[in-house]
Amino acid sequence: MVLKELKNLKKDTERAKDWVAAEFSYAKNLQVKLKDIEKLETSQAEKNIRSGLKILRWVGRGERRADRYERRVMDELKKLGNILPKTLKDEEEDLSKELDVVEAKLVKAASIFTGDLRGELLELETDEQLLAHLQKKKPQEADKIKRLLHQLVEKTENEVDDLMKWIGTTEAVLKKIEGFEAKLEKLSEG
C-alpha cells in the first residue's frame, strides 16, 4: 500500500514539475516577445503581439495541467500522511501546506495574468495599428501612442516577472517533495 502511494506521488510530482517547467518556458518566450514589441516596426510588432496571444493560451493550458498534478501530489501526500510515523507526518503536513499556498498563489497569478494580459495584448495590437496610421499624418499623436505603448509593455513585463517568480517558487516546493520521496523510499527499503 505504501509503495503504491509512494509510486503515485513520485509520478505525479514528476509530471507537475514538467508542466511547471513548461509554463515557465512559455512565460519566458512571452517575455522575449514583449521586449521585442517596442523595438520592432509596427507590422512586425503586430506579428509578435499575435504570437504573444498564442503563447498566452499555452501558459494557461500549462497552468491548468500543472494545477491538476499539483492537486494529485497533495492528495497523495495526505494519503501517505495517514500511515506515516509522527515525525514524517509533520514533514508531510508542512510540505502539503507549502504546496497548497504556492499552488493557490500561482493559480491566482496565472488567472489574473492570462485574463489581464490578454486584454493588454489586444490593446497593444490596437495601439500598434493606430501608431502605424498616425505616424505619417499626426507625428505628435504618434509620440503619445508610443509613450502609452511603452507603459503598457512595461506593465505587462512586470506581470510576466511576477508569474515567473511564483512558478519558480512552485518548482522549489516540488523539489522539496522529491527530497521527501527519496527519504520515504530509503525507509521503505530498509
pTM for the predicted model, two decimal places: 0.78
| Mean pLDDT, 10 residues at a time, the chain of 190 residues | 81 93 86 74 72 81 90 90 86 91 84 76 73 69 71 79 87 92 82
**Percentage helix, strand, coil for the chain under 3-state DSSP, each rounded to 5:** 95, 0, 5
Query: Cβ distance 62 to 113 under 8 Å?
Result: no
- Residues contacting 131, CB < 8 A, separation 6+: 42, 142, 145, 146, 149
Residue with cell string 512552485: 170
The pLDDT of residue 84 is 84
pLDDT of 42:
66
Domain ranges of the chain: 2-189
C-beta separation of 166 from 109 below 8 A? yes
Question: Which CATH number does 2-189 carry?
Answer: 1.20.120
Read off the DSSP letter of residue 83.
T
pLDDT given for residue 72 in this prediction: 93
Which of 113, 84, 35, 100 is closest to 188 using CA atoms?
84
Q: How far apart are the first and last CA of the chain?
A: 16
Res 142: pLDDT: 66
pLDDT of residue 134: 65
**Shortest CA distance to 85 belongs to which of 163, 2, 174?**
2
